[in-house]
Amino acid sequence: MRVLIVGSGGREHALAWAISASPLLTELFVAPGNPGTAALATNVPLRTNDIAGLVNFAVAQKVDLVVPGPEAPLVAGLADALAAQNIACCGPSAAAAQLEGSKRFTKEIADAAGIPTAAWKAFTEADEAHDYVEEIGAPIVIKADGLAAGKGVVVAATLDEAHEAVTAIMEDKVHGAAGAEIVIEQCLVGEEISVFALCDGEDALYLGCAADHKRVGDGDTGPNTGGMGAISPPPWAGQAIIDATMATIIRPALGEMARRGMPFRGFLFAGLMVEEDGPKLIEFNVRFGDPECETLLPLLRSDLLPALVAATEGELKHVDLRWRDAASATVVMCSKGYPGAYATGGEIFGLEEVGALPEVTVFHAGTMADQGGILANGGRVLAVNATGADLQEAVTRAYEAVDKIEWADGFCRRDIGRRAIFAAQARK
């Protein structure tokens, strides 16, 4: 099979790493890719938002399957454009991608399908939103309705923070058109997890559960980021929680989407809050998470490619994935200053040495090659993954690998997995 992966980050490197091991693969392309994917595939200089260019390339190269990494091209209609050329895409149509493209749409799907989620209300007028904030009180969650590069959600602990968020999103338009409408919802309290499923429009295949670390600083301090690390499995998400998630959230959503004539195919990412009475939906994303993808795929023992194909053909009921009985931890190394202003161009040393360590894989997220060296070229630059018999072993290996990487302009959180390890020990 000839396969095209769309994207340039750590998630796409992890997908390329997994797919490149398949005996079904004949040629692998990544657009635009990064130095990590270049070692596994042919990088193609096409932007992820160049829908026409991606489709034309897929047609010219007789690509059999396209695997989109990020959400924006899916919301923009990449899967639809590929379908018009009879090219399979492991991702949803633009209509189905509204599950991430519109917070209001997701809440409406949840209500129609009876999915447990926070109470909510949508607003297109700032004055009405401010009044509602006063009525409900804090803590409260303010969300821009559209895509905002992961920065459109504010968990406001006080009324002042809530009003500031409404003003910033709706009046100051910090997220542009994405904030023309907002969703205000109840603040859920519990443990947050990410559950992943591969979907074929009717069936869903469980792909694992992880806990992301969003804030930039140790102890969950500082601003939210795209993800500073992740662990799997989270000790607060046992089999009963997974079963409840598939039965009360994932499968009902698939059923409602099919009923509306927009069947969902591809990766479905459910962001959940585990409360005392079970999991509740925070949001859906229509792609694999990052850095969750880099955390889960090293635990997969099966060939990923046949499952991706089955998702496009409505044949997931015939797929049975096998997973390692192990734990996984990913530490993200970032450029100093991230998620604010940061410098690029610093050289990174030691990657070959680290790549030779047992149970360790380094995924490139924001790098570029220069005269044989690797330079930082983004905010989140490397995702260092390690696996082990338990979380403690996986985390220890990950940080041992991080400490062998020499990069003067880099930093990372030093407490990835710490709270989960304490929780696991408390459960013994």
pLDDT in tens, 346-390: 999 999 999 899 999 999 999 999 988 999 999 999 999 999 999
Considering only CA atoms, which of 93, 63, 100 is closest in space to residue 78?
93
Residue 223 to residues 128, 339, 368: CA-CA distances in angstroms? 27, 8, 26
Place of tokens 């940061």: 342
With a CB cutoff of 8 Å and minimum separation 6, the contacts of 34 are 8, 9, 12, 13, 43, 364, 365, 366, 367, 368
**Where residue 136 falls among pLDDT bands split at 50, 70, 90?**
very high
Average pLDDT over residues 250-254: 98
Considering only CA atoms, which of 183, 181, 214, 209 is closest in space to residue 197?
209
| CA distance from start to end of the chain | 46
270 CA to centre of own chain: 10
What is the structure's pLDDT at 184?
A: 96
With a CB cutoff of 8 Å and minimum separation 6, the contacts of 416 are 213, 228, 229, 230, 231, 329, 330, 331, 395, 398
Q: How far apart are CA 365 and CA 37, in angstroms?
A: 10
Q: How far apart are CA 158 and CA 135, in angstroms?
A: 13
Average pLDDT over residues 335-354: 94
Q: Judge whether residue 428 has pLDDT over 80.
A: no
β pairing state of 120-123 and 182-186: antiparallel
Q: Which residues of 293-331 are buried (b: 16+ CB within 10 A; e: fewer)?
A: bbbbbbbbeebbbbbbbbbbeeebeebebeeeebbbbbb
With a CB cutoff of 8 Å and minimum separation 6, the contacts of 406 are 348, 349, 350
**Where residue 228 falls among pLDDT bands split at 50, 70, 90?**
very high
Rg (CA), the chain: 21
Q: Judge whether residue 70 has pLDDT over 80.
A: yes
What is the structure's pLDDT at 381?
A: 98
Q: How far apart are CA 364 and CA 381, in angstroms?
A: 6
**Where residue 426 falls among pLDDT bands split at 50, 70, 90?**
confident
Q: Judge whether residue 254 has pLDDT over 90.
A: yes
What is the structure's pLDDT at 423?
A: 85
Other CB atoms closer than 10 Å to residue 164's CB: what's the count?
A: 15
Per the CB < 8 A criterion, the answer to whether 253 and 265 are in contact is no
Q: What percentage of the chain reaches a pLDDT higher than 90?
A: 93
Considering only CA atoms, which of 182, 212, 177 is closest in space to residue 196?
212
Considering only CA atoms, which of 94, 152, 148, 100 is closest in space to residue 286?
100
With a CB cutoff of 8 Å and minimum separation 6, the contacts of 85 are 55, 58, 59
Per the CB < 8 A criterion, the answer to whether 4 and 66 are in contact is yes
Ordered structural domains, the chain, with CATH: 2-89 (3.40.50.20), 125-180 (3.30.1490.20), 191-318 (3.30.470.20), 327-426 (3.90.600.10)
The per-residue pLDDT of the chain, averaged, comes to: 96
What is the structure's pLDDT at 341?
A: 94
**Where residue 224 falls among pLDDT bands split at 50, 70, 90?**
confident
**5-15 per-position pLDDT tens digit:** 999 999 999 99
Q: How far apart are CA 190 and CA 274, in angstroms?
A: 5
The more confidently predicted of residues 93 and 371 is 93
Average pLDDT over residues 331-349: 95
Average pLDDT over residues 215-228: 92
Per the CB < 8 A criterion, the answer to whether 123 and 178 are in contact is no
Residues recorded for the chain = 428
